[in-house]
Amino acid sequence: MINVAKFIIFIGIASLMWSCSKEKPAENVTDEASTWAEKLGFPKDKRVLILHADDAGMCDEANQAVQSYLEKNHIQSAAVMMPCPYAEDIVAWYKRHPEKDIGLHLTLTSEWKSYRWGPVADAQQVPGLIDPDGFLWHEVIDVVKNASPKEVEMEIRAQIDKALALGVKPSHIDTHMGTLYGSVEFAQVYMKVAMEYGIPAMVIEFTDPVVARFREQGYPITDEMVAFASDYTLPKLDDFYAAPDGGTFEEKKQKFFELVRSLKPGITEIIFHPSVESENLKSITNSWQQRVWEARMFADPEVIQFFKDEGILFTNWKEMMKRFQEKS
């Protein structure tokens, strides 16, 4: 496990992750390319984005926003929280729109004060994931302190298996609140399960600059984790960010523009948490205003024109995996 004192720093910025060689891709994938964008056949020196909506399935307000964005092709990808009350609704929608890109936001925490959920696995088999109130823990550090890698693996397999039983194969898997990067052991389980199911995980290529930046922010990216990730055999991202918050909608847009302008060539995923405004959403989370603005931002004509002016290319996890398999 990671040093708990160091991990406390990580918790302070964990919202960035959810609101964050010995490379073994098959022959001909790596070549001499310097980024995963190049490895997968995108033009050299291009910025390639995945605009990714987290927290689908958490509530109906999130589902409405995600469905609207995907139907209008304003974003490229989304992920479902399978333990949550509205997960089956968005999965049913995905079955009617199989061309869209929806993965699983593997969920090991239940962070809100009164709106809670438990595990998909039998609670008696994963007691370390359960808080005294019978739900998943509020905080990442509590999962790290109380849950074993075996329990974590059992729960994430249960979430994937539930989606498969409902008739969909997730396009990818990622990690709610960054919990699966909370320890080397959790990250190992996460990447192992991804490879076994043949479902790409949200894994970043751990170049020196990427590792340095995330370590500076407090993420527990240990040398052991970097070494293990080098044996991961599915496609990766070159970088990863969360859409920045803003005091106003216009400020939020401008901060987003600054972020995109700062990106280096490669495939970058930018996560956000769109939801339509409602009194119910306001009762769930004090981040409701940012989420409502994020449900507007990528349909904004100024944002759409900005991407064109910047020469941004877009992809999603299905296309990445297709390109990866073709090059294999």
pLDDT at 49: 98
Residue pLDDT, tens place only, 45-83: 999 999 999 999 999 999 999 999 999 999 999 999 999
Give the pLDDT mean for 93-108.
98
Query: DSSP characters for 253-289?
Result: HHHHHHHHHHPPSEEEEEEE------HHHHHH-TTHH
Counting residues of the chain whose pLDDT is more than 90, the rounded percentage is 87
Residue pLDDT, tens place only, 194-247: 999 999 999 999 999 999 988 887 778 999 999 999 999 999 999 999 999 999
Domains located in the chain, CATH noted? 4-327 (3.20.20.370)
φ/ψ of 153, rounded to 5, equals -60, -40
Can you read off the two tokens belonging to residue 247? 């005091």
φ/ψ of 174, rounded to 5, equals -145, -165
pTM for the model stands at 0.90
| 3-state SS, residue 174 | strand
Give the pLDDT mean for 14-28.
40
Please report where in the chains the tokens 């959810």 appear, as a residue: 18
Helix (H) or strand (E) holding 214: helix 208-216
Q: What is the CA radius of gyration of the chain?
A: 19
